[in-house]
Amino acid sequence: MAISSIWVVAEPANGSFTTTSLELLTQARTFGATITAITWGGQAASLAAIAGEYGATTLFDAGDLGGALAGAPVAGAIASLVASQGAPDLILIPTSYDGRDIAGRLSAKLDRTVLTNVTGVADNGGIVTEHPIFGGTQIAKAQFTGAAPALVVVRAKSFVAESAGGAPAAVQSASTGDLGATNSAKITGTHVEEQEGPKLEEAAVVVSGGRGLGEASAYSLVADAAKLLNGAAGASRAIVDAGWVPYSFQVGQTGKTVKPTVYIACGISGATQHMVGMKGSKNIVAINKDPEAPIFQIADLGIVGDVHKVLPALIEKLKSR
Amino acid sequence: MNVVVCVKQIPDPAAPQSLDSGSYNLNRSGKLILDEADTYGVEMALQLTEKAGGGEVTVVSMGSAADLTGIRNALAMGAASAVVVSDDSLRGSDALGTAKVLAAAIGRTQYDLVLCATESSDGYTGTLPVQLAEILGLPSVTFAKSVSVEGGQLSVQRQTEAGFDDVVCPLPAVVSVTAGVVEPRYASFKGIMAAKSKPVDQPTAADLGVAAGAANAGQKIVAVEAAEARQAGEKHVDDGDGADKIVAFLESIKVL
């Protein structure tokens, strides 16, 4: 079965689409299929050029959603489009908070399975998806056996976003349909907790801290080292859950995926959840007291030692350069 | 206020994990424990019912009932009763199939709120809470890092890529909570003793009138391959020279 029609959920962000959305549009082009993007947030008209540049011929607009969480109304719009236009072979959805909500709602609305944590999509006599398991040490390949559309939720940085220079997409509005009670969760306030300096997902150097730091105040060592290296500071889930740093710092399965030139893991043992988010780094340096910590299995340079000694020494050396 | 908490018993994540060779299902033959990610939902439910001055917490689960240690743990923490849908026909269900089963089980209870973890620690599909909400016809708020209820309305702080959003939502609703949202209590001795006699209803798929299982999953694992392995590099025991080693390494890759 050749893939002839692909829809991409294109999540709006800061006057464009999220990077993951652009990665999905880029990957969609490799199938030689007709590409349709679906967006929301009230800015569709100004996004048509970007959607077209990345290969979409049509951009469906679900509207500004009136402050509602995106999951129910955007899934409603896509389900209505499936009913009116027929199902595409494949719907690609970015792994993000709203992306997962949209995928889950859509799965139940269309009565289709949903394939998540996907890092590869191929047409191999049907749709075959790749899913890293056991901390990314193994890749499970799943064949989609159901009826179209295949709902595929793809992790960030699985593909590289590249413009193809296409003409602007034609914008069409999409009705969300009758959503009833499902659409009653509303956003009343937005809080930004981003750090100064380069963005975690884009920094060439990431210095991350984990439970091995011992206490919240020791995280300043991680932040200082990151700053001196013109990098971004990251964190394991353990210390985010413990409330030491905001969630936006989290690297891993439920956090951000990073692929910097170098990733410096400080007091991070290397739980599955964490490794999935940073394994793709070009170089990995790990500092950990436990010589058996799993992080050392993937580190190019492992320092078995106390972060409270190694990090201050590193900071001094960086300052004196 | 009555709260349902969806929980899952999983193989101990600290033990080595493997897939069954034929089915590619996760090997669950060993001891099962309550997914740590679910203890936050149980604790949140107990706190909300205590604050509301009444109501019960019911835990709902799908999976083998051969070992109920994890379910008893939730009951020992203070949940009043449990529903465990255990049926061989459900083996290999995908997240949607599981959501259908849980929705049918939850539909037989009286509830104002359904709590879930954001994802299980063994399957981590992360879509079940929302699939459940859609099937039940309810609103949902995922990735809650703070939850309160006032006058029949939920106020939630929901994680976002950049920070968090304040979200309000009427009840009934489905909420997925992150780890760390509350500090789960340890079961007291009294709680552990009381849990032994708390009711654990064990309906079959037929009792609930739902079908799921591998045949309904719409996906099939066709291969499991070793990922491109990263080679472990140099491992150096710090002797006061760890920082020098790091600087030299950063120079060698031209970061410095």
Closest CA to A315 of A266, A251, A277: A266
Contact B218 A145 (CB under 8 A): yes
In three state form, how does the secondary structure of A251-282 look? ECCCCECCCCCEEEEECCCCCHHHHHHHCCCC
**Both structure tokens of A100:** 């997962």
Please check whether the domain covering B3-216 is classified as CATH 1.20.1260.10. Answer: no
Residues 6+ apart with CB under 8 A from A196: none
List, as one string, the DSSP characters of A47-93: HHHHHHHTT-SEEEE---GGGB-SHHHHHHHHHHHHHHH---SEEEE
Taking the CA of residue B209 and the nearest CA in chain A, the distance in Å comes to 17
Residue among B135, B169, B240 whose CB faces A185 most closely: B169
* Residue contact B180–A282, C-beta within 8 A: no
Task: Please indicate if any CB of chain B lies within 8 Å of the CB of A155.
Answer: no
For the beta carbon of residue A310, count every other beta carbon within 10 angstroms: 25
Q: Where in chain A is the domain with CATH 3.40.50.1220?
A: 205-319
d(CA B48, CA A54): 47
The gap between the terminal CA atoms of chain B, to the nearest Å, is 59
Residues counted in chain B: 256
Calpha distance A313→A257 (Å, rounded): 28
Look at A254 and B119 and tell me if their CB atoms are within 8 Å. yes
CA pair distance B69, A233, nearest whole angstrom? 40
Is A229 near chain B, with CB under 8 Å? Answer: yes
What are the chain B neighbours of A305 within 8 Å (beta carbons)? Answer: 237-238, 242
At the topology level, CATH places domain A205-319 in Rossmann fold (3.40.50)
Continuous segment of H or E residues that includes residue B246 = helix B242-252
CA nearest B226 in A: which residue? A138
What residue type is assigned to position A24 of the chain? L
Residues of B in contact with A147 (CB under 8 A): 218
Return d(Cα B79, Cα B49) in angstroms, integer: 10
**Residue ranges in chain B modelled with pLDDT below 70:** none
**CB atoms near residue B186 (< 10 Å):** 11
Scanning B36-55 for CB atoms below 8 A from A yields none
CATH number for the domain whose boundaries are A5-183: 3.40.50.620
Is A318 close to B223, i.e. CB distance below 8 A? no
Which of A99, A124, A106, A102 has its CA nearest to residue A24?
A99
- Do B156 and B186 form a contact (C-beta atoms < 8 A)? no
B32-67 as b/e: b if 16+ CB within 10 A: bbbbebbbbbbbbbbbbbeeeeebbbbbbbbbbbee
CB atoms within 10 A of CB A315: 19
CB contact under 8 A, B168 and A248: no
Residue A24 phi, psi dihedral angles, 5° rounding: -70, -40
Q: How far apart are CA B125 and CA A241, in angstroms?
A: 20
How close A164 gets to chain B, by Cα (Å)? 27
Interface probe for B, chosen from A19, A21, A69 (most Cβ of B below 10 Å), is A69
The tokens of A286 are what? Answer: 């790990």
For B23-172, strand residue ranges (E) read: 32-34, 57-62, 81-85, 113-117, 140-150, 153-159, 163-170
- Token reading at A257: 């995926």
**pLDDT (0 to 100) of residue B231:** 83
Name which of B128, B163, B218 is nearest A194 (Cβ-Cβ): B163
Which residue ranges does chain A devote to CATH 3.40.50.620? 5-183
The verdict on a CB contact (< 8 Å) between B125 and A117 is: yes
pLDDT of residue A1: 57
Digitized pLDDT (tens) for each residue of chain A, 321 residues in all: 589 999 999 999 989 999 999 999 999 999 999 999 999 999 999 999 999 999 999 999 999 999 999 999 999 999 999 999 999 999 999 999 999 999 999 999 999 999 999 999 999 888 999 988 877 778 899 999 889 999 999 999 999 999 999 999 999 999 999 999 999 999 999 999 877 889 999 899 999 999 999 999 999 999 999 999 999 999 999 999 888 998 889 999 888 999 999 999 999 999 888 998 999 999 999 999 999 999 999 999 999 999 999 999 999 999 998
Check if B215 contacts A (Cβ < 8 Å). Answer: no
Question: Can you tell me the distance from the alpha carbon of B164 to that of B156, in angstroms, rounded to the nearest whole number?
Answer: 10
Spans of all domains in chain B: 3-216
Name the residue among A100, A133, A143 with its Cβ closest to that of B142.
A100
